[in-house]
Structure 1
Amino acid sequence: MMNTLRKQSNRIGIVLLLLMTSIGFISCDKELDLEPVIEQTAANVFDDPAAYEQFLARIYAGFVVSGQQGPAGNPDISGIDEGFSNYLRQYWKHQQLTTDEALIAWNDGTIHDLNWQTWTPANEFITAMYNRIYYQISISNEFLRATADVPESEFLTAAYKAEVRFLRAMSYWHAIDMFGNVPFVTDADPVGAFLPPQGSRQEVYDFIIAELTEIEPMMIDARQNAYGRADKAALWMLLAKIYLNAEVYTGTDQSAQAIPYLENVIGAGYVLHDNYDELFLADNDTNGAQNEFIFTFNSDGLNTQGFGAMTFLVHAPVGGNMSAANFGINGGWGGIRTTSTFVNKFSASELIVDQRANFFTDGQNLEIEDVYNFNDGYAVEKFKNVTSNGAPGSDSSGDFIDTDFPVFRLADAYLMYAEAVKRSGTGDQGLAVQYVNLVRLRSSANPIGGFSDITDTFLLAERSKELHWEAHRRTDLIRFGQFSDQGVWPWKGNVEGGTTTAAYRDLFPIPATDITANPNLTQNSGY
């Protein structure tokens, strides 16, 4: 794990099941790849110093695998198919299927309620997302409890604890972004039968800011940690994300606070990779794309096998006349494609020259008459399980994927800087223009002329072009006031041409199961 995190996992899963003696409101989790630990107990699990690293690896793995073994058979959470339950797969669906960038053809349970924005507190996908978030929080809390009184050593460093606190803060960010006022538990709370109190969005926001500020000195310097592990730059990006969205979370604009953190990121030595398409290939950890990546969720076709995460993001968009071999897989799933609203963000000339207009159109219709027909809607050729030289990924079966998922990358930081300058009226307008143009020119799009071109409409569209299908869209639409009661796109509201929905849908409901089980919780308004 000290090198790539690709080969850590299974082993600590059994340990976690023993350590987590009921944290009351969630489930279990994870896998990656080491030999299994047998018959460990909470009392002796850390007798082996290597267990600290394995536990840390297990927490990282929680974002990309779905159970105690790969690829399936011993899931971490119940109530939903194991492949559906994966953290990244669920997070992607909630950030993308609810927007103008993606529509799913399958008819699995209540999945179309996400496309249509008609979900209820009983939606099993929303429940799975919520449970995944709190599973990650729980195992982070358990690591911090178990190591609270353990002195630092080569096996347990201050950076390990700081990384776990960072990962917990990231999951709490996902929680307040999606659910608002949420159950709030830290490692200071008791283990055992426990009904957590509900923290207000403001309280949890304040906790995240305080946590990240406190651990910043303990994090490994930018670009000095192992690939796939969080460092100071990942922390700066998370702080900038939270400050940029602060008005949504707290009612007070804090966009100016994002600027110094973005300056730190931009000054840390990251560079835009010269080929947009290579950012999303099987060798994106070695082909130069890694120099643009600030934080990634790592995948490996041999060691992180499952039917969520990148397995989903490479297989599900392939269908119709598309060649599965061109994507390094054994077959497409014919599941997700995009809407005309997203396609039309590109001008006619941009559709020809802009590398980000990565649409497959052969046999695909631009407009979607039948939501269950994969051929209605342009396909998106973004994530692939082939290398920059065209070789397939490491799994010879073509099932499982080597491509890493970029959680934070430099192009996003550039666009965030421009937005923060626009929103706050502070910062360097000339740099904002320069950064936007670096992003656009990389993909052969024409540069903008000046700061007056950086309007809200431009920023929202440019973020969509550059970052589509990277799990930013829902949060972006809400920040710009275009998610529920203003923006319209095909099949929103379960209407072919689209319609607005109620503003309360800017938040998902607390799952009905948790509302029933925990009298401390109050449901979000409208549900």
Structure 2
Amino acid sequence: MKKILISTIALCSLLVLNSCTDLEENVLDEASATGLTDKQAADGNIAPVYARLPDIFQHTTYFAIQEISTDEAILPYRGGTDWGDNGIYVAMHQHTHTSTDPNLRNTWLLLTQGISRSITAINTLPTINDQNVKTYLAEARGMRAYYNMLLLDLFGVVFVKDDPQAVSTILRGEQALDYVKSELMAVEPELLTTVGPGRLTKGAVWGLLARLHLNAAVYRDRYATTFTFRPDDMDKVVEYCDKIINSGQYQLSRDYFSIFNSDNNANKELIFAVDQRAELNGHNRLAYFSLSGDQYPLPAFTGANGTDGPAITPDYYQTWATAYAPRDPASADPRFYKQNMTIPADSCMAAADFNMNRGILRGQQYGLIRVNGAFVRCGANYRVGRLFNVNRNRPTLPVNFTGKIDFTVAGSDYNTGYRVLKYEFSKKSVSGRNLGDADISIVRLADVYLMRAEAKLRKSNDAAGALADVNTVRASRTATTPPPALTSMNLDLLLRERGFELYWEMVRRTDLIRFGKYEDKWTEKTDANPQKRIFPIPQTAIDGASNLPGYLVQNPGY
């Protein structure tokens, strides 16, 4: 039987890592897919291995737990009701989350399903006579390692299994680290370099191995007072980063925000990404998550607005303000803000010319004027002007984003907090809001330079080498005036630089832990418990394993 999609039995056989209730899929075999060529069968087995990546990187799964748990993002009860969700976003930010958090559960389910699909592909592909099988096998095995790498980072466990009917072995700590590392190293020789950022390539594995070695000290001793960064690990970080940089295959983008445009699949800065092209039915929702309910990005879609979700914290904003004072960071660093609309307070604009400002949005917002469900027209064009909170039944209150945001009544209103529009809205989407087609970065070249800089600092305090790498990234953004070169470098400055370059790209929690800052205080967060460095294993998974006492043990502190 040539299985095209993973069966419910195979999902369950990962062994109680999740409830099978939500994971039923159709199984296509030779009988139900008569006429498939070997190539179609091979393609049909590797596609499901990648298929849940868009779900993992949704705004309410991996993004929520990697960003809202940090100093970069906060999501209060908007207006006292919106985004309440039984307090899960408040708890995530304050580090009071529990094992019943649905976003943690969903992320766990998706990652373990990714492992299950990879195992099925690993077992089925060898039965297919197609020239791509060798590469696809390496990709499936590498993706199994990647999903386990995320489980290790988030929940402190990995699952080892080759036979779909076997019971997974659970590894933690150094054993888990060594397993993921060995799997990535094993597949690297069989991977290609030319299949694009949406599939696992040699460059992608080099980037993941660099990241794994950089965080190895954390994974070996999660609750350490001080992490021990071994010189051999830092040498490996430099080695793998060198491979990527010296390959000549990747290039830092002149225009920072083009890395996140809806046509970014061909952007040479992307090394590994979630392929979200419209023809693949992507559903990147990161664009609308932070915007006002009265911001409409696309003239073609009168229902595609923001949702007044998370904003950046005042603490994170202050890192920008302090770094560039007395200059406004918007004029000092093109990564902070890109102005696409230069308009008077009340203008007319052709649909093709309308393009929202990008980056960190502050103050009075301008955009398409919507009345009674339709955009106001001026001939063939569209009226653009000051926005008001019409959809919040406050038609005289301007959409004016303020820096202050917290969990008080005043601090959680619809205008509070500076917002982020980093990923571009899709102009090809069937809804304008969902189904975005901007690929979501997992590893990109700027991060590689910054990882190499950090390894140089941690191994030998090579401040000059680290400074050169950081300034290479800063100097590359030449579409407008790049940020000024830095004159010194240390770990605190490097963490700040990672925050400037990689904000809202779902690396912040991992960074703060590695830099020893995750127990710090920031907006509405005072918890300093090191046990919160990993999340609780979802209670549904613990309950599902109850027939095997001692098999799936909850993380300490939960």
TM-score between both structures, scaled by the size of structure 1: 0.80
1:73 aligned partner: none
Structure with higher Rg: it is: 2
Cα-to-partner distance string for 1:445-471 (whole Å, 9 max, x where unaligned): 11122xxx2211101110011000100
Letter in 2 for 1:255: M
Q: How does 1:310-349 map to 2 (within 5 A)?
A: 310-311=284-285, 313-319=286-292, 322-325=295-298, 330-346=304-320, 347-348=324-325, 349=327
Residue from 229, 234, 239 that aligns with 1:255: 234
1:44 Cα deviation from its structure 2 partner: 8.1
1:446 aligned partner: 484
- Residues 89, 220 of structure 1: CA spacing in aligned structure 2 closer, same or farther, 3 A cutoff? farther
Contact map agreement 2:206 2:241 (CA 8 A) in 1? yes
What secondary structure, in the 3-state scheme, does the structure 2 residue paired with 1:337 have?
Answer: coil
Cα-to-partner distance string for 1:232-256 (whole Å, 9 max, x where unaligned): 1100000000000011011452222
Residue from 62, 65, 80 that aligns with 1:91: 62
1:302 Cα deviation from its structure 2 partner: 5.0
- Residues 21, 525 of structure 1: CA spacing in aligned structure 2 closer, same or farther, 3 A cutoff? closer
1:379 equivalent in alignment to 2:410: no
What secondary structure, in the 3-state scheme, does the structure 2 residue paired with 1:325 have?
Answer: coil
What secondary structure, in the 3-state scheme, does the structure 1 residue paired with 2:85 have?
Answer: coil
CA distance in 1, matches of 2:496, 2:28: 53
CA distance in 2, matches of 1:96, 1:158: 37
1:175 Cα deviation from its structure 2 partner: 0.8
What secondary structure, in the 3-state scheme, does the structure 2 residue paired with 1:406 have?
Answer: strand
CA distance in 2, matches of 1:331, 1:482: 35
CA distance in 1, matches of 2:540, 2:554: 11
Contact map agreement 2:108 2:538 (CA 8 A) in 1? yes
2:552 aligned partner: 521
Q: How does 1:12-411 map to 2 (within 5 A)?
A: 12-13=4-5, 16-17=7-8, 20=11, 22-25=13-16, 26=18, 40=29, 48-49=37-38, 50-65=40-55, 89-105=60-76, 106-109=83-86, 110-147=88-125, 149-150=126-127, 153-154=130-131, 156-180=132-156, 182=157, 184-187=159-162, 189-191=163-165, 194=167, 196-221=168-193, 224-251=194-221, 252-253=228-229, 254-269=233-248, 270-286=250-266, 290-306=267-283, 310-311=284-285, 313-319=286-292, 322-325=295-298, 330-346=304-320, 347-348=324-325, 349=327, 350-357=329-336, 358-361=359-362, 362=364, 363-369=400-406, 370=408, 372-385=412-425, 392-395=427-430, 397-411=432-446
What secondary structure, in the 3-state scheme, does the structure 2 residue paired with 1:285 have?
Answer: helix
1:165 Cα deviation from its structure 2 partner: 1.3
Contact map agreement 2:10 2:164 (CA 8 A) in 1? no
What secondary structure, in the 3-state scheme, does the structure 1 residue paired with 2:61 have?
Answer: helix
- Residues 326, 245 of structure 1: CA spacing in aligned structure 2 closer, same or farther, 3 A cutoff? farther
What secondary structure, in the 3-state scheme, does the structure 1 residue paired with 2:466 have?
Answer: helix
CA distance in 2, matches of 1:490, 1:397: 32
Cα-to-partner distance string for 1:342-393 (whole Å, 9 max, x where unaligned): 111112323422112232112111111446434211011211125xxxxx23
What secondary structure, in the 3-state scheme, does the structure 1 residue paired with 2:64 have?
Answer: helix
CA distance in 2, matches of 1:41, 1:17: 18
1:423 Cα deviation from its structure 2 partner: 0.4
Query: Which structure 1 segments of 5+ residues have no match?
Result: 1-10, 66-84, 387-391, 493-498
Q: What is the aligned residue count?
A: 461
CA distance in 1, matches of 2:135, 2:464: 37
Q: Which one is further off, 412-421 or 345-354?
A: 345-354
Contact map agreement 1:314 1:327 (CA 8 A) in 2? no
The structure in which a higher percent of residues are strand is 2
CA distance in 1, matches of 2:502, 2:247: 21
Contact map agreement 2:62 2:107 (CA 8 A) in 1? yes
Cα-to-partner distance string for 1:271-319 (whole Å, 9 max, x where unaligned): 1110011111111124xxx11110110113354255xxx12x0111110
Contact map agreement 2:135 2:191 (CA 8 A) in 1? yes
- Residues 197, 267 of structure 1: CA spacing in aligned structure 2 closer, same or farther, 3 A cutoff? same
Residue from 522, 534, 545 that aligns with 1:489: 522
CA distance in 1, matches of 2:318, 2:432: 37
Letter in 1 for 2:268: N
- Residues 366, 179 of structure 1: CA spacing in aligned structure 2 closer, same or farther, 3 A cutoff? same
Contact map agreement 1:421 1:432 (CA 8 A) in 2? yes
CA distance in 2, matches of 1:197, 1:157: 27
CA distance in 1, matches of 2:30, 2:8: 9
Letter in 2 for 1:282: S
**Root-mean-square deviation over aligned CA pairs:** 2.9
Contact map agreement 1:293 1:409 (CA 8 A) in 2? yes
CA distance in 1, matches of 2:449, 2:240: 12
CA distance in 2, matches of 1:359, 1:339: 11
Cα-to-partner distance string for 1:467-493 (whole Å, 9 max, x where unaligned): 001000000000001112xx221011x
- Residues 397, 271 of structure 1: CA spacing in aligned structure 2 closer, same or farther, 3 A cutoff? closer
- Residues 293, 27 of structure 1: CA spacing in aligned structure 2 closer, same or farther, 3 A cutoff? farther
Q: In percent, how many aligned pairs have the same letter?
A: 30
CA distance in 1, matches of 2:98, 2:429: 41
Contact map agreement 2:291 2:309 (CA 8 A) in 1? yes
CA distance in 2, matches of 1:359, 1:151: 49
1:465 equivalent in alignment to 2:444: no
- Residues 482, 398 of structure 1: CA spacing in aligned structure 2 closer, same or farther, 3 A cutoff? closer
1:42 Cα deviation from its structure 2 partner: 9.6
CA distance in 1, matches of 2:418, 2:508: 18
CA distance in 2, matches of 1:326, 1:462: 36
CA distance in 2, matches of 1:108, 1:98: 16
- Residues 405, 211 of structure 1: CA spacing in aligned structure 2 closer, same or farther, 3 A cutoff? same
1:21 Cα deviation from its structure 2 partner: 6.1
CA distance in 2, matches of 1:243, 1:488: 28
Query: Which structure 2 segments of 5+ residues have no match?
Result: 77-82, 222-227, 337-358, 365-399
CA distance in 2, matches of 1:239, 1:132: 22
